[in-house]
Amino acid sequence: MNPTADGTVEDGHGNVVERVVDHGDGTGLRTLYGPDGQVTGTEALTGLPISDPPAADPAAGVLAAVQTARNEVAGYAASNGTRQAVEALATAVETLVQGDTP
């Protein structure tokens, strides 16, 4: 009867005998239930699996792509006017992605 995080253990007859709640920070709470369904005890837990980190910020990917494009264009742009136009566009995209108003 080893429950996993956010798990419930039953006695084989549909009665809950143990429930573990994972708080997502490595801690949790185990609650034990008697045959009548009443709580008979609780136990604070540590060392539980920690939840996955939040997904990467999509803005970071956009900003990285803008910087990559900026670096590539610097080597290929035929005229100073082209470089200035690309730089202005890259700056505008960065401003929008970062939530600033131009």
Domain membership flag for residue 25: yes
Distance CA 33, CA 43 (A): 12
| Segments forming the whole domain that contains residue 72 | 58-97
Do 93 and 71 lie in one domain? The reply is yes
Render pLDDT for 33-86 as a digit per residue (tens, 0 to 9). Answer: 888 888 999 999 888 876 565 666 777 777 887 778 777 776 665 566 777 777
Per-residue pLDDT for 22 more than 80? yes
Element (H, E) at 95: helix 80-97
Q: Is residue 2 part of a domain?
A: no
For residue 83, is it within any domain?
Answer: yes
- On whether residue 71 sits in a domain, the answer given is yes
pLDDT in tens, 24-48: 888 888 898 888 888 999 999 888 8
| Number of domains observed in the structure of the chain | 2
